[in-house]
Amino acid sequence: MTELTLAKALNTALHAAMAEDSRVLVMGEDVGRLGGVFRITEGLYDAFGPRRVRDMPLAESGIVGTAVGLALRGFRPVVEIQFDGFVFPAFDQIVNQVAGYRARTHGRTSLPMVIRVPFGGDIGAVEHHSESPEAYFMHTPGLHVLSCGSPHDAHWLLRQAIECPDPVILFEPKARYYVKGEVGPAPDLPMTAARTVRPGRDATLLAYGPTVRTCLDAAEAAAREGRDLEVIDLRALAPLDMAVIRASAARTRRVVVVHEARRTLGPGAEIAARLDEEMWGSLDAPVLRVAAWDVRYPPARVEHDYLPDAERVLDAVDRSFAY
Amino acid sequence: MGADDPTRPVQLLTPDGRRVEDPRFAWRGGDTELVTMLRRMMLGRRLDTEGAALQRHGELGLWPPLRGQEGYQAGIAAVIEPADMVFATYREQALALAMGVGVADLLALWRGAGMSRWDSEATRVAPFSIIIGSHPLHAVGYAMGVDLERFGDGPVPATLALYGDGASSQGDVNEALVFAAAQDAPVVFCCVNNQWAISEPVTSQSRVPLYQRAHGFGIPGIRVDGNDPLAGAAVIGWALDRARAGHPVLVEAYTYRMGAHTTSDDPGRYRGDETSADWAAKDPIERLRRHLLDTGLVDDAWLRAMDAELDDFGADVRRTCRELDDTPIERAFDELIGEPGDYLRAERADCLDWLSTAPDEGDAA
């Protein structure tokens, strides 16, 4: 076991994957000498050179589109989108091309490529630097959509994503980049599995990315008041690990989904609908959502009024118990 | 366009079938290749004629006519090499056919019986992008990959990206040009200027001749007569060689879309017949046919035999179309992603269960 920050865990994953497989490439904006604006690609340029660690022109559609071509030629590109809000210029390439290629070729051609997206708020940034766009991609068939909530999962989910024959979008919680944690020597779960990070009996909190920590904080506070909350890090948003979600819901009978994505048609909406369809009558309360409000991301000095925090999670748990 | 006008396209075969010389480009093929080009153009035109008719008979949902654009396609087919890779548009079906994409695979796309189902690895023809201009980026990435595999200074396989005058306005196409120049990718851009993007003339896309755009990106640009298969072969051949040596280049194939954009379109609403008549006089097949007759490389007997072959081919196209099987819905599930997860597996089962139990519409009567 090694203790690393989440950022370093991603960095060591890239180092290891590139050392292991010469087809793995890193491409993006400022990923070379600078090592990326968050330093996730630090040291790769020196270790693997400018042909495998490519500073690309500043055009996200172009970066993703050329990554498609590289994947077609047999490479395994790992694309860095600099900030969440910058993913939208690449939306056509991701939704129509990357996600659709296998189906458009009747399964002949899959694209082994990874798109890393630092996402989420709480970093005091200007607009377009704090978004949570994951639901757009969950809505798109043909993609694996992942998010990491700990250094261990950051490292191993990225390694597994690079080995996956199909395209993966990895949403990295940028506000948690510098939180430390143990990184194990091997993956202990498949890429598509959720992880129970805190077992509990009384209610289930479903989280991913930055809200895993939020929910653990809420669970600790609830424990002091005698409530035993289970926290599940979903890790995979597409496909969702419904087996783990259902099993937990069946035990606790109360579910709260927590994310920084907006509430309307966010991941929580889909989870609530599925639990409603699959477990109607066996829960003690409706599935509740703690999410960002359905407005534009606000100026940074009031972002804490926008983002879910432990207090809002606990309030939702109280409301769940009031049914 | 005078002889010294730089916008004048490179031409080696005049509309009336006379060979002319160009100081920079020469036709390097032999007599056999000339006859092959005529044959490929005729097959491409027959495929187009049959495709349009099949759409009118309700056998195809849509057809994008290629009539008038056989010239540069035959030229490319003459110079493309087995290791090269082509990212073409859906109007390059004569080229795809010449490169070995099957009639059934082409028709399946327009019948709604399949997607781009041909083997891209074997045929070297990538799936057609229906989002215009989205594929040149794939070509540039592919070429970057070719370059990454390079050992030493020897030639590399070339990658060819075709796109239209309409697509030349797309951001992705411009990004592709930026990236190819910045990364020095071994790729050829062939901008097929057929003068019309559905109803919008090329003047609504650009204030400058499209080949001149290349200069702003820092790569060479040249305009070729797209209705001249010899010039197409010579100029695209030169461009492919430049890519094989490791550098990008842009060729504008100057041509004309004789037919509609697709069978859903009505050109009578936006353009007159005069220009089309002018362009009909520049027909790529007619000019090569005349030339080969004049030089004795083909004769009336050859043409009659070719007509018979085309009739057989046409019958085969029609039969192939009607015999195409639909792609069953479960393949939309099975071909989506390697690991779909339990939820999608259950949805697939629900879908098939529903289909196996739901009454047919006919049963209600």
pLDDT at B6: 77
- The pLDDT tens digits for A37-60 are 999 999 999 999 999 999 999 999
pLDDT band at B61 (very low <50, low <70, confident <90, very high): very high
- Give per-residue burial for A58-94: e unless 16+ CB within 10 Å, then b: ebbbbbbbbbbbbbbbebbbbbbbbbbbbbbbbbbbb
| Digit-coded pLDDT (tens) for A196-251 | 999 999 999 999 999 999 999 999 999 999 999 999 999 999 999 999 999 999 99
Residue A48 structure tokens: 């693997």
pLDDT of B308 reads 98
Q: Are residues B66 and B192 in the same domain?
A: yes
Please report the pLDDT score of residue A1 as a whole number. Answer: 75
Q: What is the pLDDT of residue B3?
A: 58
ipTM: 0.96
pLDDT band, very low/low/confident/very high, at B356 (cuts 50, 70, 90): very high
Contact B138 A72 (CB under 8 A): yes
Q: Is A155 a catalytic residue?
A: no
Of residues A51, A57, A166, nearest to B148 (C-beta): A51
Burial (0-12, 13-18, 19+ Cβ within 10 Å), B308:
exposed
Domain that holds residue B336: 330-364
Strand partners, B19: B13
Which CATH entry fits the domain spanning A2-183: 3.40.50.970, 3.30.870.10, 3.40.1190.20, 3.40.50.2300?
Answer: 3.40.50.970
Which DSSP state fits B356? H
Contact B33, B229 (CB under 8 A): no
Both tokens of A68, joined, read 């498609």
Task: Return the H-helix or E-strand segment holding B189.
Answer: strand B187-193
Burial string for A167-186 (b: 16+ CB within 10 Å, else e) reads: bbbbbbbbbbbeeebebeee
Which residues in chain B have Cβ-Cβ distances shorter than 8 Å to A107? 331, 334-335
What does DSSP assign to residue B24? S
Query: Which chain A residues have a beta carbon less than 8 Å from that of B351?
Result: none
Q: What is the pLDDT of residue B365?
A: 45
pLDDT in tens, A84-121: 999 999 999 999 999 999 999 999 999 999 999 999 99
- Two tokens, residue A122: 């709480």
Confidence of residue B361 (pLDDT cuts 50, 70, 90): low
CA distance linking residue A208 with residue A195, whole number of Å: 10
Cα separations (Å) of A1 from A151, A156, A182? 11, 13, 6
B182 CB-near residues (< 8 Å, 6+ apart): A56, A57
Residues B222 and B334 grouped into a single domain: no
**Nearest residue to B250 via CA among B226, B209, B217, B221:** B221
| Ranges of CATH 3.40.50.970 domains, chain A | 2-183
Q: Please give the Cα distance from B165 to B184 (Å, whole number).
A: 23
Contact between A243 and A219 under an 8 Å Cβ cutoff? The reply is: no
SS3 assignment for chain A: CEEEEHHHHHHHHHHHHHHHCCCEEEEECCCCCCCCCCCCCCCHHHHHCCCCEEECCCCHHHHHHHHHHHHHCCCEEEEECCCHHHHHHHHHHHHHHHCCHHHHCCCCCCCCCEEEEEECCCCCCCCCCCCCCHHHHHCCCCCEEEECCCHHHHHHHHHHHHHCCCCEEEEEEHHHCCCEEEECCCCCCCCCCCEEEECCCCEEEEECCCHHHHHHHHHHHHHHCCCCEEEEECCEEECECHHHHHHHHHHHCCEEEEEEEECCCCHHHHHHHHHHHHCCCCCCCCCEEEEECCCCCCCHHHHHHCCCCHHHHHHHHHHHHCC
CA–CA gap between residue B110 and residue A312 (Å, rounded): 53
Interface membership of B346 toward A (CB under 8 Å): no
CA of B337, closest CA in chain A: separation in Å? Answer: 6
Q: Measure B116 CA to nearest chain A CA, in Å.
A: 5
Q: How many residues does chain B have?
A: 365
Select from B174, B168, B214 the least CA-distant residue to B6.
B214
> B219-259: per-residue pLDDT in tens?
999 999 999 999 999 999 999 999 999 999 999 999 999 99
H-run or E-run covering B187: strand B187-193
Is residue B340 within 8 angstroms of chain A, CB to CB?
A: yes
Of A165-169, B23-27, B156-160, B357-361, the range with the lowest mean pLDDT is: B357-361
A-chain CB neighbours of B324 within 8 Å are none
Identify the band that residue B141 occupies on the pLDDT scale cut at 50, 70 and 90.
Answer: very high
Q: In chain A, where does the domain assigned CATH 3.40.50.920 lie?
A: 195-321
Strand partners, B193: B254
In-domain check, residue B225: yes
Q: Does residue A123 register a pLDDT over 70?
A: yes
Best residue in B85, B101, B118, B175 to probe A by mutation, most A CBs within 10 Å?
B175
Closest partner residue to A57 (CB to CB) among B146, B179, B342 is B179
- The whole-number average pLDDT for the span A62-68 is 98
Residue in the block written with tokens 């590109």: A77
Same domain, B120 and B198: yes
Mean pLDDT computed over A267-282: 97
For B308-355, the pLDDT digits (tens) are: 999 999 999 999 999 999 999 999 999 999 999 999 999 999 999 999
Statement: residue B363 has pLDDT above 90: no
Judge whether B120 is closer than 8 Å to chain A, CB to CB.
Answer: yes
**Residues with Cβ < 8 Å from A129, sequence gap 6 or more?**
A83, A84, A85, A123
B303 inside domain: yes
Angle, nearest 10°, between helix axes A310-321 and A211-224? 60
> Measured between alpha carbons, how far is residue B324 from residues A166, B103, B201, B228 in Å?
29, 11, 36, 35
**Mean pLDDT calculated for residue range A121-126:** 96
Q: What residues pair up with B85 in beta bridges, in sequence order?
A: B159
Quick one: pLDDT at residue B362? 55
Architecture of domain A195-321: 3-Layer(aba) Sandwich (3.40)
* Joined tokens for residue B265: 């379109």
pLDDT at B169: 96
Residue B304 vs residues B49, B308, B311: alpha-carbon distances, Å: 18, 6, 11
CA A118 to chain B, closest CA, distance in angstroms equals 23
Region B55-80: what's the mean pLDDT?
98
> Taking each helix axis from N to C terminus, what angle separates B70-79 and B284-294, rounded to the nearest 10 degrees?
60
CA neighbor of A164 nearest in space, from A177, A150, A146, A182: A146
The answer on B358 and B211 residing in a single domain is: no
Beta bridge partners of A172: A118
Does residue B15 lie in a domain region?
no
Q: Does the pLDDT value for residue B202 go beyond 60?
A: yes
Distance CA(A17)–CA(A160), nearest Å, equals 10
What is the structure's pLDDT at B346? 96
Q: What is the pLDDT of residues B28-43, one digit of tens each?
A: 999 999 999 999 999 9
Instruction: Tell me the nearest-neighbour CA distance from B47 into chain A, angstroms.
Output: 22
Tokens of A86: 């910058």
Listed residue (A76, A69, A78, A46) closest to A170, CA to CA? A78
Nearest to B179 among A62, A96, A238 (CB): A62
In sequence order, which residues have a C-beta less than 8 Å from that of residue A97 and are 6 or more positions away? Answer: A64, A65, A68, B129, B131, B134, B138
Whether residue A84 contacts residue A137, with contact meaning beta carbons closer than 8 Å, is answered with no
Mean pLDDT for chain B overall:
95
User: Are both B309 and B252 inside the same structural domain?
Assistant: yes
B244, B344: one domain: no
Are B289 and B356 within one domain? Answer: no
> HSE of A18 in the Cβ direction (CA atoms, 13 Å)?
24
Question: Does some domain include residue B135?
Answer: yes
Q: What is the pLDDT of residue B237?
A: 98
Burial string for B147-160 (b: 16+ CB within 10 Å, else e) reads bbeeeeeeebbbbb
State the nearest Cα–Cα gap between A40 and chain B, in angstroms. Answer: 23
pLDDT higher than 80, residue B2: no
In the predicted structure, residue A142 carries a pLDDT above the cut 90: yes
pLDDT at A309 over 90: yes
Flag if B148 and A75 touch (Cβ within 8 Å): yes
CA–CA dist B38, B75 (Å, integer): 10
Chain B residues with CB-CB distance to A111 below 8 A: none
Mean pLDDT across chain A: 97
For chain B, how many structural domains are there in total?
2
Q: Which amino acid is at B126?
A: A
Taking a C-beta distance cutoff of 8 angstroms, is the pair B72, B256 a contact? no
B198: left (phi over 0), alpha (psi -120 to 50) or beta: left
- Mutant choice from A66, A76, A166 vs B, greatest count of B C-beta within 10 A: A66
Q: Give which of B30, B339, B230 is closest to A236, Cα–Cα.
A: B339
Q: Among B119, B120, B137, whose Cβ lies nearest the Cβ of A69?
A: B137
**Dihedral sign from CA coordinates of B338, B340, B345, B347:** negative
The CATH number of the domain holding residue B310 is 3.40.50.970
List A106, A128, A129, A152, catalytic entry: A129
